[in-house]
Structure 1
Amino acid sequence: MLLCVYLLYCLLQVNSGCEVDRGQKPDISKSVGDSVVLPCSCTNPKDKSDPVQWGYTKTFRVGKYEPEVMVFPEDDRQSQRYRGRVQREIQNPPGYLSLIISDLTEEDGGTYVCGVNGKFASAVTLHVKGCSVLEIWDRSVTKSPGESVLLPCPCPSDSNITPRTVTWSFSKEGQSEVKTPVSNDTGSYRSRVWTFDQEKSRNFSLLVSDLTKEDSGRYLCTVYEDNPPAVELKVTGCALLENKQTVIISKYPRDSVLLSCSCTELQDKPVTVQWITPHHGDLLSTELPQRYNGRVQTFNQNSPGNLSVLISDLTEEDGGRYSCWINQNQYRHFSLSVRGCTLSEPQEKTIIKYPGDSVLLPCSCSDTKTKPQSVKWQRVDSGGTEVSSGTDGYNGRLHMFNEGLPANLSLLISNLMEQDEGTYRCTINNNQSISITLNVKGCTLTQSLEEVISKYPGDSVLLPCSCTDPNTKPLSVKWQRVDSGGTEVSSGTDGYNGRVHMFNEDLPANLSLLISNLTEQDQGTYRCTINNKQSVNINLTIKGNGSSLLKNWEPIIILCVFILILLSLLGGVAYSFWKYGIGRKIRSEEETGQRQKDMDWETYTTVIYQGLCKPTQDQVPLIMTHSY
């Protein structure tokens, strides 16, 4: 079913353009010098055709719509005989493709075929009568710059006259004695004049195209040496400055552009002026396309020859070719390109941030001078919710830079929250976009199991609670007494005034709670909760008074025990030294007495045995006793 719908859509798209009304139209007869309208139209007159083409063939065969020469647009490489003499009939609706040929010549006779996009399907045969019509001709001709003129020269009745004896010359008004030859060999007329095949047609008329005001004067067709016929040509009106030129202009969206088109003399007024848009509309028409409303300004109110237009507040759709047409024969083309915004970072990227940070989501045009027509930020993961200052949750936290820097479409989000995590998309002109994934790393508690801490009255206690990543910061943190019905523990809570302290002001990831000067009433279960969804419990036990008294004496007892041990060690060392000294003294005295006894005994024995002394009977025992 879908395939059928698609094929039907494609068929309608293909057939939605102009189809030329097929077949051969009735023949048309004209005279040399006349103008003719060759009819052609789309089967549906409301259809637009781009481009329409006209071709010419001398011999036509029924059913064979094949041109020999292109007439419109003219192929200069094949022929220049139609130059300046053909134009589309644009007064009618777009579906009418008729062609106007002016200043007809005998050689214009033949069959003309009409088609669209190279497919010719309509034909009309034109008959042009010979030069007999020139027997009655006006000796004064008025034309506008850019037009073509057929300067008639009657067919000589004398058949002995040959083309070699017929010449054309030109003289300015008041300077009849100065004659300038008129031919393709003359500098000012080079590639602008055309003559008939005089050998066959016996027509010596001259066709001059792309007329300028300098072409005004007296033209002489010299057939006989005496009394040559003359034509007074006057070229008046607007001569387009820089005619048939193409100007290339590059602009940016929201710029203004001046398409300069004017007559050489600003007081000259053209007969007709048209500004053709890239979509074949007319900027000066009352049926101006809606998108140009209020953006087009003209300047010919005070200077009729100033035909320029100013287009302001440009958009990318304004790009294309604009043409200024004067009198339907002079033109100037403008190729306007409006350089739009192209995103400089088309690939998706990921940014990691923490709560409380600011983040810049980059989005910009590659050309800093460009500006998109529209820009939109959305949350892709939230169903395409628009991200703006008016979106709930972002009030006062967003900033964009494109007011001062049109090409900078970046979005700044401040005071980030975990809820800001997601995929953001920057879209310009509803056709280009870039996605950015934002990760906001929130706080995850380091400990998850309940912890038990024992302390004594008068102590201080640190109840630990912190994020695993020191760079993170929770949106909210709260300490409570679980055993007291969830009572909040803070400096403003009765019983805790001046005894609690937190560290998260300087260290956002450190959520620990310090309680000083503990009392038995502080015993209980404390809970640290972050972002109202993660928590950790800590059971604090405060030991009683007896234990506390013993604990308070512990340092003194330990000190006394230490002193006693030290004194004991010192006493032992002193005793050892004392004992060592006394023993040494006694041993010394004993050794000295023994030596004396030995010496006395030796002396005694020496006296006895040497007969130096003879003891009495009473001295012998005494001596013996002493020796021992």
Structure 2
Amino acid sequence: MHPSYQHLLGNLLVISSTIISWLVPSVSSGCSLAENQKTDDVTAYTGDSVLLPCSCTDPHAKPKSFTWRKHNTNRNSWDVITSESEQYRNRVQMGTAHSPGNLSLLISHLTEEDKGYYRCYLNQYYKDISLTVKGCSLAENQKTDDITAYTGDSVLLPCSCTEPHAKPENFTWQKYNTRRQTWDVITSESEQYRNRVQMGTAHSPGNLSLLISHLTEEDKGDYRCYLTNQKYKDIRLTVKGCSLAENQKTDDVTAYTGDSVLLPCSCTDPHAKPESFTWRKHNTNRNSWDVITSESEQYRNRVQMGTAHSPGNLSLLISHLTEEDKGYYRCYLNQYYKDIRLTIKGCSLAENQKTDYITAYTGDSVLLPCSCTEPHAKPERFTWEKHNTNRNSWDMITSESEQYRNRDQLGTAHSPGNLSLLISHLTEEHKGDYRCYLTNQKYKDIRLTIKGCSLAENQKTDDITAYTGDSVLLPCFCTEPHAKPESFTWKKRNTSRDTWDVISIESEQYRNRVQLGTVHSPGNLSLLISHLTEEDEGDYSCYLTNQKYKDIRLTVKEAPYKPVNPPPVDTDTTSPTASTKPTTTMTSPNGAHTSPLYTRHVILAGVGVLLLLMGLGGVICWRYRVQRREQTVSREGQTGQRRDQQTQDDVMYSTVAQINTTRPAPRAMDNGDNTEYARIKLN
């Protein structure tokens, strides 16, 4: 749009709005008081603030002028209230800037004099408010409480208004001065109570209690919570101080070097904490009592006095005791004290300046014994040393020493007086003289002998024969079964390359077929080879060093047990003697072969003998039955009768079993299931 047209349009809008304002009649929105000529009742508390409500019916209407007035009962008049009025100076605020129609009166820091009738006045309109101000009336007014507390502790002297929201205009705590017979006001700046008192609480205006911390015996006496001559409360405070238990007595305490000890000292009342106390030790050189602190040179970072959870416990804890800590100690409290005689038992070596002889084996562990006569005594310092024959000196042993790195252990934590040295994975270099050393006068020597592995039949050759598919043990062992060599290998001579190849379970030829030595017998170095093949034949060497080895020549033969091909199986089942089992050639114990035909003849001869014995038994039985029958006939007198039919069916069966009486071995003929029956008819 062209700028000239925009300017013309703006002028038209201004003229139109002016004409409309002339045509619309003017309406005045003046202030009419809400609840006009009514009286509200409001209750508040001394020390608090109160809002006396008054407002226009239209919150946006602002009156030209309005006033707040209070009824003066003495003059029976309404006095105008301003922020400059003597009674309300800097305590009142009328209306709010953001809400013109709010004419309320805010009065802060209320006093009991603020109670009465108030009027919100606007021309002919007004609203009255009856304000009731509740002041502080002391609970248990003009009464006396008795309270007991302990030195070093804190105590709360209770005092409060009956209305917890009422805060008095002014109150003080006072203590009775018995010397001057006056009540001295207590403040946080008072010399006796500086930084030790706190009055009332911010969140509860009616709580006027007095809190006194770090009590001393001087704090005992009569206290007063004072509002006016008619409003006060008295409290009699008793403060119990620390009186030493077992005052001026001496205790005897025994402890051990390296340990900790508690020297007991306490107040008769465990809740009482003295203002100050000290521990002292008698200095025999100067015949004086030296004060002990955690900064004292002798006791730096080794002492602790008392405990936080028990104020009356004044005990002294000394840790990492030394023999210099022995002596007389005093728990000192003003005119009170308690003495303790401390005895420190140090480490005296058992078998001092003596020599022990110990024998151990390579690969094993050995304990070199050394201990204090008192198992609870821990020496301040001790070392293990080994005699160096080359330099004729004693070298200190540590876990970082090259020869003993990660292989030694000194003493045990659960037994402070055990100073023994444990050496593991022994080698022949560990032999020699050892010393458990405390001082020039306290030591113990040990001569350690190490027996290493000497091969039985060293540099000799054994001949061993084994068979394919079998297992063979190539023997090699130390003369001392407990001695374990540092290392050893088994080797086999490679004839192709004229070298000795090392044997392991990962070797291609022996994978999962060899086992070297046994865990339960360290000196057994034998080699077990299973599932032998003809390739395993050859020369083997059990090798420790160039001077320690044993050779074995292994010969592997084909196994002597070879099954022969079985003859064809006779499938004719009509013949009672048809065999359904193959015939196997057996090997005799002396290695000769046994013919299957010979074995069969032996079995048949045995069967014949059994049949003969069974026939003989049948004849004897038959004769016995005939005699019985003849006797029966003669007794009955029946001579012409025969009982053929009765005996016609009498048949006796005898079982003939083939029994293999040969030694346990593969059987050429199994007759376990073949049974023959012989039928014998009795006439």
TM tier relative to shorter chain: 0.3 to 0.5
More strand by percentage: 2
Normalising by structure 1, we get a TM-score of: 0.39
More helix by percentage: 1
